[in-house]
Structure 1
Amino acid sequence: MLISADLVWSRGALRPGLAVETRAGRVAALRPLGADTPDLHLPLLMPGLTDLQVNGGGGVLFNAEPSVAGITAIAAAHRRLGTARILPTVITDTPEVIEAAAAAVIAARAEGLAQIDGIHIEGPHIAPERRGTHDARFIRPLDTRTLAVLARLRAADVPVLLTLAPECCDPALLAQAVGLGVVVSAGHSRADAGQTRAALAAGVGMFTHLYNAMPQMQSRDPGIIAAALLSDAWCGLIADGIHVAPEMLALAMAARPRRDRCFLVSDAMPTVGGPDRFRLYGMDIAVRDGALVNPEGALAGAHVSLLDCVQRLVALTGTAPGRAIAMAGDLPRRAMRLPPLRIARGMAVADLIALDADLRLLPDPVP
């Protein structure tokens, strides 16, 4: 089958005049269309997106179902919405839940579940004052038990993203995590600018959902956000139009010394591709006016897919579509030291998505 498109994502940009040959569910070639007549023509063809922060989907919360079956259901829900690869995200919980989540990811990858690119452990080593919806009962300093989990994951060649508050961690234990090859991200943190710069020097290379669950910038107290923006580290952003105002998204992107150091995450919860409510820490979490809130009205994750975030970033900030697509595909993969998803010989057709001119998902190009 020969598929052409007005624009194809290739080598980090949207390019015209290309066509994809497919055979037996795989890409056989990416080449110029030339004078050939395609079997199918699309507005936009690209690899599926990569989401580094997926708490749940399809009615399943990873913390509640830390199993291969749970991961499979979450990944399938996001695949239907345009996300080809995810890091299932386990948030602050008991050591047993985090260990079960790690074991599930190891098993899923061993079974060949291609959508799982690793694991994101968000907490429990965070600042209680900046915990957000995370349960204070389970917050604790970085310890040898977590380091054992990280070592087990890395021994199984699982990419790991660990979100913690660096000011709350023993520097020696933090160094051990970095030494294992874990991508350490600062988040749910009350660090000041000096503490943040020290964490960056110690190997912290990312910031989790910038602006959220951290003190805001002040003229005489720049804090973690200003230190993050002025660094070369990676910054994740939730572009749902609820967690961060459009102006602040645009400011973060414009302020970076390196243009390519911001990426998008969904922070998706089970309502994405599922029912409009779920249980977290014994609380009812429900969708209200597009936002996920707990009984006190505080935000509890997001009710968006990553493709929703791409569309909203473009619509709310005027970001060029190519840049927004990169922030949900090539850049998060680079941030996690993962190889890019490229349309090339051997790629599974299931990893391709087709979009219309407004970046809305179309049916799979090859059923």
Structure 2
Amino acid sequence: MSYRKFLDDWSKKYLRNTDINFTEQTTEEQWAVIRDNWIINKRYKELITFIVENWDSGNCDDFSRPFSKHLINNKELNYYKRLWKGIIRNRLDKLWPDYDYLKQELPMLTIEKIKNVDISGYNQFSADESIERTVAWRQLYIVDGINEFIEGLKILNDNEEIDRQTTLLRIVSNLEKPKHKPTTDKRKIDENLFWQLINDTRKISTDQYNFIDNLKSTLEAFNPKEMRNFDKLLNTKVNELNTWEHWALAYIVRRGCGDDEFDYFKVWAVSKGKDAFESIKEIDENQLFTIFDEDPQLEELYYLAEQVYEDKTTDLMAPVRVKVSELTGKRWDEDKIYQTFPKLCKLFNYD
């Protein structure tokens, strides 16, 4: 929802023809105007979510740094930590898969050699960069981010978090990928336990990204074989939302929704827990607005069970077969969506 709200604010201001100064600015300058307005109005939580969602590689320095400084100056410790933990989490999510691939391709390459790789002129957006330069750049980028995070924590006097980030700094500096938990939970994942795991994890999570981290940690305690049960239940529930009406809901909420985004919407609906999922499934207009408190996209959950299985076994999980139903319901036209779903459009201020 934060992503949609930010773009809504940007679009409304950009389309004001009387605001000549604004329309002559670059997109980056325009976004900075919206960012600063959100800061003035203390929309910190929404702004953090937007940053973490939009810059999923963690490369948001130019946009996020003024906000980070504002949080430090105003002693907003909790928001400052949420911002930086989200940024660093995104950067780490890109580092470890690349590092695993590098070890497969060049098993004799040492950490010292990686640290000495020349990354001058590295272009993170180029597909021509070598995997060695990419890993070396990602490592340094994360180290720089953690150090910047720690400097702010020193000003805010959070010694406990400084200790945690110092430990993470050592892990990244030495490319010591964290080891996964041993199997300690012997339970079988059936539908009841599936929903219990989702619900309990949502209760302790600050946002959808923290939810993924927490759920991954929980699933790592299970026997890897149970990941197939989890994945089958997840895809079964996702399939229950395969209707044109649910696609319309996703389209209205997000101001547009393609094929892939609809898949990520459905899996996000499952991540919100059993009660919320049922309300979304029934398109209960009395409950929907409170449920949609973040951008309804969670691609990471689609692959989480496979990732846990692979991490624990170093092997690929066999595909889980779930019969996918065809889209049901009445197909709608994008140009007439307001006339077709007037209540939903009004509920989510779609015009």
Q: TM-score of the superposition, structure 2-length normalised?
A: 0.30
- Structure number with greater Rg is 2
Q: TM-score of the superposition, structure 1-length normalised?
A: 0.29
Q: Which has the higher helix share?
A: 2
Q: Which has the higher strand share?
A: 1
Larger RCO (CA under 8 A, 6+ residues apart): 1
